[in-house]
Amino acid sequence: MMTSFFDQFASPSFLGIPLIAIAIALPWILFPTPPSRWLNNRLITLQTWFINRFTNQLLLPLNVGGHKWALLFASLMVFLITINMLGLLPYTFTPTTQLSLNMGFAVPLWLATVIIGMRNQPTVALGHLLPEGTPIPLIPVLIIIETISLFIRPLALGVRLTANLTAGHLLIQLIATAVFVLLPMMPTVAILTASVLFLLTLLEVAVAMIQAYVFVLLLSLYLQENV
């Protein structure tokens, strides 16, 4: 039984060909392309408004040099939200439950922020490793601790997104299984459990959007330290 609960996180394949590439490419097909007309329909207007609001909120604390990342951050945010939301549909696969995919996003982007800081302002970037006013005997220990915390950042980004989505999917499957088991024996309890399942599904929709926002927000904070 426990093996079947985790089967939903296995990458699907057809004739030995992994289908994760289709799951990753599908979100971009669903977004409407803005036409060349002056007036857009309601869906494109709502999509444009959401992206503009998100970009303005995210890049507000950054200086002009960090605004070059606006397109990357907005695209990553929309991509993660769409993948997370599609993963809540029945008989679908959520690529962001794979730690390898999330680390593939986190490590290069985090490394890019570090390289930018070391290239543009190396003194300030290295200064983050040693807080001001540190006692002399604690300097070697604090440098080691800050260096470790720096390299843990991409791991924390990937694990946070993976763990939250995986835990939510497991809870939904466990409660849904309990509903089917209790329905013939205790219908009243099954109905109450189904109401809990409905509320949990709404919570997972919020988690899917919040985790995508947190992922991009933390990247912007890392960028803010280095530009």
Question: At 13, is the secondary structure helix, strand, or coil?
Answer: strand
> Which pLDDT value is given to residue 216?
92
> Which pLDDT value is given to residue 2?
47
* C-alpha of 191 from chain center: 33
> Which pLDDT value is given to residue 5?
65
Is residue 219 within 8 Å of 110, Cβ to Cβ? yes
With a cut of 70, which residues of the chain have pLDDT below it?
A: 1-9, 34, 39
Whether the CA torsion 65, 211, 75, 55 is positive or negative: it is: negative
As given in the structure block, the two tokens for residue 168 are 């939510």
Q: What is the dihedral of CA 212, 162, 88, 34, to 10 degrees?
A: 30
Is residue 217 within 8 Å of 58, Cβ to Cβ? yes
pTM of the model: 0.83
> Which pLDDT value is given to residue 137?
83
As given in the structure block, the two tokens for residue 205 are 């929709």
> Which pLDDT value is given to residue 1?
44
Q: Which residues of 141-171 are buried (b: 16+ CB within 10 A; e: fewer)?
A: eeeeeeeeeeeebbeebbebbbebbbebbeb
